[in-house]
């Protein structure tokens, strides 16, 4: 009986105009997004490789000039790696910084070296998470919003319920049929898109990536289910199918479009940042204090000679103390910027669309999460370089040694000994542990909506 009901529900929808339009649109968009991603990723990878190679040749040139050339006076350029799962969630990475300039003492930036065009306006990329979040959820609510009252108006609901079927089963088959109808174009379009992507041979998808894709698909279904249930709920509450359609559309536009786009403004409202000049002034003050403290603790006749960067003969410990003092200030400021964005994301989590986008970007490790992990790695790379300098400095680190300046100036480090920066992408487990909350909340929302619809449907007057 259940199967019959399910079949009836599916057939009811199958030939409707909205389903045909939805199928065409969803599949076309998913395939187009796959093709666009392949073209885009190809360019990104070639840019990335070219930039990394440029940096390595610069490094080896600087190394021939000694450790001061390589680690104090000049900087290396390090880059964020393009995300091979960008087609799932690009996370506006094009508009986020992707590079740092790093020496053993400083981390400058963040900088931009991508193809982003500020004259284009900042729109989301046409990726899987955008298509699911906007287009599929729209279709979901469109399909479900007259599920109950529409049948009542047709008179078929009474007919169905006059049979010996429990109401719960009727409701579940309505729900399942809509979910199946949504899964078909999503799976089909997604599959063609994935075939295009993996067929291009440009994007190496490993076991980890497939796991991430699977998780993203699961979260997508959970998200769509929220809208199906919301549609069914409204269709049970409101008498006319017209009314429930209109109300659900307006609810949808608020949840999916308005709330997430209010995030950047509201985050600034509640979480304010000091201005850059104040921070820079404070950093300068702290550096000066560190400098004076060092001189007080370790008095030396040559302490007064300071070039502003660590140069032959100057105290290494002092250069490090100054750098660390500055880092504390600047890193804290950079971290508070990330916190502000996080705060905005928290606010947009009041909508299922926000929950979904944040879950998918955690799973794929894209967007602000990718930027954050890149920043963390850049900082620890700077520490690695500093350790390298310390290990290769055969003199006492605390006091200046101007008497052996020329000897120090000739210190060299072999190219092969220098660690090379290579960004590691987020592992599945890390991303999933971040996404678990969002997914849990989506699941909870599902349960609440389902319970609500169920209770109302049990008491529903089908006449």
Partner 1 sequence: MLWIITKKQLLINLLSYRFVVGFILCQVLFVLATLILVNDYEERVKAYGEAVSRQQERIEKVKVYSDLIREPLTLYKPPAKLSPICTGFEKTLANQASLNYHQIPELEVGRQEKNALLAALGSIDLVTVIQLVLGLLVLLFAHDTVSGERERGTLALSLSGPLPRHKFLLGQYLGGMITIATVFLVGILLALFLMKRSSAVNLDQADWMRLGLIVVISLVYLSALYLLGITASILSKRSTTALVVLLFFWIVFIVIFPNLTSALAARLKPVPARGVVTERVALLRREFWTRVYAESSRDLPRPEHNFDYIEGRSVYSGGLAYPIRIYYAPREIIEWELEGLKRFLPIEIEYAGKIHAVHADYERQLDAQARLARILARLSPAWSYYNTASSLAGTDAETQMAFLDRARRYRNQLMDYVSSKDGLFSYRFFTRREPRSFKSTPELDLLKGQGDRLHQEIGTGWDSVPPLDLRDRPPFNHSTFRVRDSLLNSLPDLVLLVFLNLAFFLAAHVCFLKTDVRVGG
Looking only at residues 107 through 136 of this chain, which bind partner 1 when binding is defined by CB under 8 A?
Answer: 111-126, 130, 134-135
Q: Which residues pair with 111 in a beta bridge?
A: 99
Sign of CA dihedral 285, 287, 291, 294: positive
Cα 380 from Cα 122, distance rounded (Å): 31
- Cβ burial 154-178 (10 Å sphere, 16+ → b, else e): eeebeebbeeeeeeeebbbbbbbbb
C-alpha closest to that of 76 among 46, 97, 98, 107: 107
Nearer to partner 1, 91 or 400 (CB): 91
Closest approach of partner 1 to the CB of residue 22, in Å: 8
For residues 219-258, which are near partner 1 according to CB under 8 A?
240, 242-243, 245-247, 249-250, 253-254, 257-258
Q: Is 51 in the site for partner 1 (CB under 8 A)?
A: yes
- CB nearer partner 1, residue 6 or residue 38: 38
Please, what is the minimum distance in Å from the beta carbon of residue 153 to partner 1?
11
Among 27, 29, 222, 442, binds partner 1 (CB under 8 A): 29
Question: What letter would DSSP give residue 398?
Answer: S
Residue 328 binds partner 1, judged by CB under 8 A: no
| Nearer to partner 1 among residue 19 and residue 322 (C-beta) | 19
Single out the residue of 1, 14, 43, 398 in contact with partner 1 (rule: CB under 8 A): 43
Closest approach of Cβ 103 to partner 1, in Å?
15
Distance in Å, CB of 44 to partner 1, minimum = 8
Rounded Cα distance, 415 and 60, in Å? 6
367 binds partner 1 (CB under 8 A): yes
Q: Could you say which residues in the range 275-294 bind partner 1, by CB under 8 A?
A: 275-277
Helix (H) or strand (E) holding 101: strand 99-102
Kindly state the tokens that stand for 83.
């995300």
In angstroms, what is the minimal distance from the CB of 158 to partner 1?
21
* Options 344, 352, 400, 431; binder of partner 1; rule CB under 8 A: 344
**Token pair of 386 as six digits:** 């500093």
Question: Closest separation between CB of residue 2 and partner 1, Å?
Answer: 28
Report the alpha-carbon distance of residue 81 to residue 373 in Å, rounded.
Answer: 11
Rounded CA separation 144/153 (Å): 15
Which is closer to partner 1, CB of 6 or CB of 30? 30
**CA-CA-CA-CA torsion for 255, 258, 259, 265, nearest 10 degrees?**
180
From the list 36-44, 174-182, 219-227, 453-461, the region that binds partner 1 by CB under 8 A is 36-44
> What are the start-end ranges of the H helices in 65-136?
67-68, 128-130
Using the contact rule CB under 8 A, the part of the chain among 11-19, 203-211, 396-404, 454-462 near partner 1 is 11-19
In the complex, the smallest distance separating the C-beta of residue 33 from partner 1, rounded to whole angstroms, is 8
| First-residue to last-residue Cα distance in the chain | 22
Q: Are 368 and 344 in contact (CB under 8 A)?
A: no
- What is the smallest separation between the CB atom of 338 and partner 1, expressed in angstroms? 6
8 A C-beta contact, residue 462 and residue 157: yes
Does residue number 31 form part of the binding site for partner 1 (CB under 8 A)? Answer: no
Q: C-alpha distances in angstroms, 71 versus 51, 62, 329, 388, 397?
A: 19, 8, 22, 9, 16
Binding residue (CB under 8 A) for partner 1 from 21, 436, 451, 458: 21
Task: Provide, rounded to whole angstroms, the least separation between the CB of residue 136 and partner 1.
Answer: 11
Residues 356, 219 contacting (CB under 8 angstroms): yes
Nearer to partner 1, 338 or 456 (CB): 338
Q: Is 273 in the site for partner 1 (CB under 8 A)?
A: yes
């Amino acid at each position: 009986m259940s199967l019959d009901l399910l079949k009836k529900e599916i057939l009811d929808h199958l030939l409707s105009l909205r389903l045909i339009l939805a199928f065409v649109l969803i599949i076309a968009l998913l395939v187009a997004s796959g093709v666009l991603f392949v073209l885009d990723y190809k360019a990104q990878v070639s840019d990335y490789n070219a930039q990394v190679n440029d940096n390595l040749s610069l490094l080896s040139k600087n190394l021939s000039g000694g450790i001061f050339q390589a680690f104090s006076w000049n900087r290396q350029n390090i880059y964020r790696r393009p995300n091979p799962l960008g087609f799932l969630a690009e996370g506006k990475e094009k508009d986020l910084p992707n590079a740092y300039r790093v020496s053993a003492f400083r981390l400058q930036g963040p900088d931009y070296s991508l193809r982003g065009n500020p004259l284009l306006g900042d729109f989301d990329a046409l990726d899987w998470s955008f298509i699911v979040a906007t287009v599929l959820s729209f279709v979901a609510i469109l399909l479900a919003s007259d599920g109950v009252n529409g049948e009542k108006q047709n008179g078929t609901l009474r007919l169905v319920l006059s049979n010996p079927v429990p109401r719960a089963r009727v409701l579940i088959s309505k729900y399942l049929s809509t979910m199946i109808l949504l899964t078909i174009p999503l799976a089909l379009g997604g599959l063609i898109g994935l075939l295009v992507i993996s067929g291009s041979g440009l994007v190496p998808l490993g076991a980890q990536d497939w796991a991430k894709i699977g998780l993203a698909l699961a979260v997508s279904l959970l998200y769509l289910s929220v809208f199906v249930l919301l549609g069914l709920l409204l269709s049970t509450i409101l008498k006319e199918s017209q009314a429930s359609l209109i109300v659900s559309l307006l609810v949808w536009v608020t949840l999916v479009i308005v709330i997430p786009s209010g995030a950047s403004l509201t985050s600034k409202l509640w979480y304010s940042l000091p201005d850059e000049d104040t921070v820079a002034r404070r950093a300068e003050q702290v550096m000066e204090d560190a400098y004076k403290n060092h001189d007080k603790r370790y008095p030396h006749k040559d302490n007064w000679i300071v070039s502003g960067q660590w140069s032959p003969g100057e105290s290494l410990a002092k250069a490090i103390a100054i750098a660390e003092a500055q880092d504390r200030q600047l890193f804290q400021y950079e971290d508070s910027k990330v916190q502000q964005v996080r705060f905005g994301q928290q606010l947009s989590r009041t909508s299922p669309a926000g929950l979904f986008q944040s879950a998918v970007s955690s799973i794929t490790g894209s967007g602000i999460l990718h930027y954050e992990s890149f920043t963390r790695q850049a900082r620890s790379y700077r520490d690695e370089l500093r350790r390298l300098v310390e290990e290769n400095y055969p003199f006492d680190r605390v006091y200046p040694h101007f008497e052996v300046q020329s000897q120090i100036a000739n210190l060299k480090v072999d190219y092969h000994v220098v660690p090379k920066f290579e960004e590691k992408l987020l592992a599945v487990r890390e991303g999933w542990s971040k996404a678990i909350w969002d997914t849990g909340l989506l699941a909870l929302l599902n349960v609440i909506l389902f319970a609500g619809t169920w209770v109302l449907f049990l008491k529903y007057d089908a006449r």
